Structure 1
């Protein structure tokens, strides 16, 4: 981990294979400015005003992060919540363009390690929420989306911290990943 901000949330986190921002993430869609739309999807000026204690509260938080403008590249978003399920005012945004087809177990292991460190430093006893996002309009998951979500789910199950239900988003918005989507077909 590198230096920290006043709220103890790391400014940068080294996770091989990802571009990571914990400050003011790059806009979700890099073409927005060209289209005349001003939007900084990841810069959370105010965290969601209610704890992440229900599926609807978590979906509302992801809708806030999503912003409704779509995605220009595959990416992951992470929200960190304290032990009372209040979201810390930072969104961790990671671009996974180099691993769009399938996640690497080593890289996901590094991600889980860094999230454990972040929770220990910034929100002991807290939890994380993760959303996988990609460009496209269909809410149906592609085989690559399924591989990503299943791999994330496996790593979150083994992680030394709590996590919220996994979410998935396309240009049409976020949704919870159904439990049956997380089961590998034999």
Structure 2
């Protein structure tokens, strides 16, 4: 199940005199990520590289910022994917220490900087919700409300006309089971409507 992080975190890693400052932050998309990266560049003007990776809103990015291709952005993106994270920016600010690390050393350093920052954050599962609408006889309103509450659904709207109209939100994964349960309990007297 995909997860996200609740708050930003940092790490500080020294590898052969180069300093790698890792940053992870929850973000909603590319624009917010680029704003954070621009802020990091402004805060660290003497840094040799500000590399970053993003998984958010169906978008992904892996930016090496002058490091050899595939040695910074892609390894950081792989850490995010391996931990099944979504809505997360990983960035590493590198201060060059004068000793070349080679491709393998760079991959390990960037991976480790992000992994250490991620060890400091609380992760929460991302739950996707769906909204459902139905109509039912007045005599079944109490029973349906109890079923919704028991399933953890959130009642959004109730309208009373010739029939009772309910709109509610529930986790997508739980929606099919709840709909089947309500259909069975209502003995065919429940009508589903398009949202």
| Rg larger in structure | 2
TM-score, normalised with respect to structure 2? 0.29
Question: Which structure carries more helix by proportion?
Answer: 2
- Structure with greater strand percent: 2
Query: TM-score of the superposition, structure 1-length normalised?
Result: 0.30
